[in-house]
Amino acid sequence: MADWHRFDVANGDIDLATFSYGTPGETTPDKPVVLLVHGWPDTHHLWDLVAPQLAEHFRVYAYDTRGFGDSSRPSDVPAYRLDALAEDMFAVCRAVSPDGKTHIVAHDWGSVQAWETVTTPGAEDAIASFTSVSGPNLDFLGEWARGKMARPTPSNVGQALSQVASSAYTAFFQVPGASDAFFRAFGSDRVWTEFLHFIEGTPRENARFGPTLREDMISGLKLYRANIRGKLARPNPRPTRVPVLEIVNDRDIALRPAIYERTHTHAERLWRKRSTTGHWLPYTNPDYLAATAIEFIEKIATGSSSAPNTIDRARVTGPAPELIGKLAVITGAGSGIGRETAYALADLGAELVLADIDLETVEETAIECKAKGVPATAYRLDVSDTTAVTRFADEVRDAHGVADIVINNAGIAVAGSALAASDEQVDRLLAINLRGVISGSRAFGKQMVERGTGGQIVNLASAAAFTLSRDLGLYSASKAGVLMFSEALRAELAEHRIGVTAICPGIVHTNITASTEFAGAADEAATRKKVDGFYAKRNFTPDRVASDIVSAIRKNKAVVPVTPEAEFGYRVYRFLPWAARIGARQKLAD
């Protein structure tokens, strides 16, 4: 167990078992005070893996909320109303920081209680900040649900029904005889540990429970019975001036991300971080939670945070864009598909790190993205240099944090005869198109795995990966390699919740066509002009590819043929390969 030291705090006739973390008697009055608040069915031991990391920066306390652990257990349901629980929290805050303010980090029902506390008038005088994990404000939730059903569009109804399905277990918890008996029978450490491991992959050794787990499960059910029906039926949303960080978990089995979409209308100072994590973040991803809380608390306490700064991009000032708080890295972002993808992700609120071998063009892209209101930084990068790609990934991590989205887009084209191409042309083509994608995927993928909160890697392949052409043998080989590598990497990284997508555009008019080398062509300039003119007339623009890339990120698609001819070619090669071979005999410039 962690290094906790107990003392008791009284709130009327309720005794709250409160714990400090660290060496008894050690005083660090210059450090901010952090109070950790657990939910159902946990105790302060929920924080055993988080508290040591926070204690390197702050004075850390936790307490068993009423009905749990070593604290008082009132027998009547009304004693568990949120207003009473908020009074408990204020009492503990006064005890641990009598002359200052307290930073709250809370999970599940602890977060629900903290929302009640920070929306109490005058809360900002006692509470410096609030980090909310997997626990909504019930008044905000009731308002959100009523708003969705008042405007019953398919999207609104779908979101509401999705949340109802996720919360269906709460109806069972409202039935005292059945739910109490269930947890008396199955509320053991072993069963709960296996449940957490099964439902979201929590390492078994991370599950930390006190000796009162079964008793806590049963008494804690009064939280549901005392609050949910009344709050959802008659919501009374109140504002808060306390700075709030919402950590939203996309794989939360109980809470859908959509329920937080209106928090900004009540929280004056709001930040949001979102990742492909589950409900029990303090057990499953304690390092991520600790690092995120440390950065936010330092930002509020001192006005700055430890490098890298990832919290500024998470600030919410209105309806939150879909990718707010995310970091996206794009190679080949100086023009074409890379530039248009940068614009599309900027519109969705992502911070952008943009790289290209031509620094001037990528700086132009960055300026346009900044004009859309997001941070954007330009780098010069030659993706054919494996050492440079690895160094670039490290520089990005140190300056901006670990990337959430990586788009390996940089590429060139060599067409014409495979036999006539020079060795230098072949080596450069493979170094950029294939080795560059592999290098970028490996360098950033390792960082994503180490962080443990998922991510998305998008690799630009081509319809040429499966559409045969006598004049694109070398280019097709490089892009087929990208396609197969992406498919295999997707399988490798699935257990880490990292998606990998291969984007396969067909005839798209970009700068690549105007700079394509045609090996063996009698008049290379004329051939290039003819092909470029055909692509221009086709008029499938890079922004349409960017739209498909965004869709692929949202849906974590494996392979995305973009244009109609790519869709057709993908199916012909799969189901009629002989037809693809016959079609391959047609010359590109004919």
pLDDT, tens digit (0-9, with 9 covering 90-100), for 106-123? 999 999 999 999 999 999
Is 590 part of any domain?
A: no
- Residues 227, 233, 239, 242, CA torsion sign: positive
**How does residue 382 score in pLDDT terms, banded at 50, 70 and 90?**
very high
The last residue of one of the domains, among 290, 316, 342, is 316
Residue 550 has pLDDT above 80, yes or no: yes
Is 506 part of any domain?
A: yes
**Interval 22-51 mean pLDDT:** 88
- Which of the 8 DSSP states describes residue 90? H
- Residues 116, 119, 122, 126, CA torsion sign: positive
**Interval 399-411 mean pLDDT:** 96
Residue 570 has pLDDT above 90, yes or no: no
pLDDT score, position 506: 78
The last residue of one of the domains, among 291, 316, 341, is 316
| Rounded alpha-carbon distances, angstroms, from residue 423 to 239, 392, 426, 427, 431 | 67, 28, 5, 6, 12
Residue 21 has pLDDT above 70, yes or no: yes
Q: Which domain holds residue 561?
A: 327-583
CATH number of the domain encompassing residue 529: 3.40.50.720
Domain total in the chain: 2
Query: Where does 401-523 have alpha helices with state H?
Result: 423-430, 436-451, 473-493, 511-515
Query: Do 187 and 63 fall into the same domain?
Result: yes
pLDDT score, position 508: 65
| Rounded alpha-carbon distances, angstroms, from residue 489 to 404, 442, 445, 497, 561 | 16, 9, 9, 12, 18
| Residue 343 · residue 311 · CB < 8 Å | no
CATH number of the domain encompassing residue 16: 3.40.50.1820
Residue 586 has pLDDT above 80, yes or no: no
Amino acid at 190: R
Secondary structure string (H, E, C) spanning 221-282 = HHHHHHHHHHHHHCCCCCCECCCEEEEEECCCCCCCHHHHCCHHHCECCEEEEEECCCCCHH
pLDDT score, position 269: 96
Catalytic member of 224, 288, 379, 475 = 475
pLDDT score, position 415: 80
Most trustworthy range by pLDDT among 25-29, 96-100, 118-122: 118-122
Is 15 part of any domain?
A: yes
Query: Do 287 and 195 fall into the same domain?
Result: yes
Residue 532 has pLDDT above 60, yes or no: no
Query: Do 413 and 526 fall into the same domain?
Result: yes
Residue 513 has pLDDT above 80, yes or no: no
Query: Do 109 and 238 fall into the same domain?
Result: yes
pLDDT score, position 132: 98
Residue 254 has pLDDT above 60, yes or no: yes
Residues in a beta bridge with 316 = 270
pLDDT score, position 416: 82
Instruction: Give the chain's mean pLDDT.
Output: 90
**CA-CA distance, 81 to 69, in Å (whole number)?**
18
Query: Do 350 and 455 fall into the same domain?
Result: yes
E strand or H helix at 96, and its extent?
A: helix 82-96
**CA-CA distance, 206 to 284, in Å (whole number)?**
7
Q: Which of 494, 477, 389, 506 is nearest to 439 (CA)?
A: 389
The last residue of one of the domains, among 262, 283, 316, is 316
Is 354 part of any domain?
A: yes
**CA-CA distance, 184 to 161, in Å (whole number)?**
31
pLDDT score, position 394: 97
**How does residue 471 score in pLDDT terms, banded at 50, 70 and 90?**
confident
Residue 537 has pLDDT above 70, yes or no: no
**Interval 59-86 mean pLDDT:** 96
Residue 526 has pLDDT above 80, yes or no: no
Least confident of 183-187, 193-197, 526-530: 526-530
Query: Do 423 and 542 fall into the same domain?
Result: yes
pLDDT score, position 325: 93
pLDDT score, position 514: 62
Choice between 26 and 227, residue whose per-residue pLDDT is larger: 227
Is 322 part of any domain?
A: no
**CA-CA distance, 117 to 375, in Å (whole number)?**
34
Query: Do 287 and 355 fall into the same domain?
Result: no
475 is catalytic: yes
Least confident of 61-65, 111-115, 128-132, 513-517: 513-517
| Rounded alpha-carbon distances, angstroms, from residue 14 to 68, 94, 102 | 12, 15, 21
Q: For 343-380, write each residue's pLDDT tens digit.
A: 999 999 999 999 999 999 999 999 999 999 999 999 99
- pTM of full prediction above 0.75: yes
Residue 489 has pLDDT above 60, yes or no: yes
Query: Do 185 and 39 fall into the same domain?
Result: yes
pLDDT score, position 391: 98
Query: Do 364 and 294 fall into the same domain?
Result: no
Residue 590 has pLDDT above 60, yes or no: no
Is 588 part of any domain?
A: no
Q: For 297-318, write each residue's pLDDT tens digit.
A: 999 998 877 778 889 999 999 8
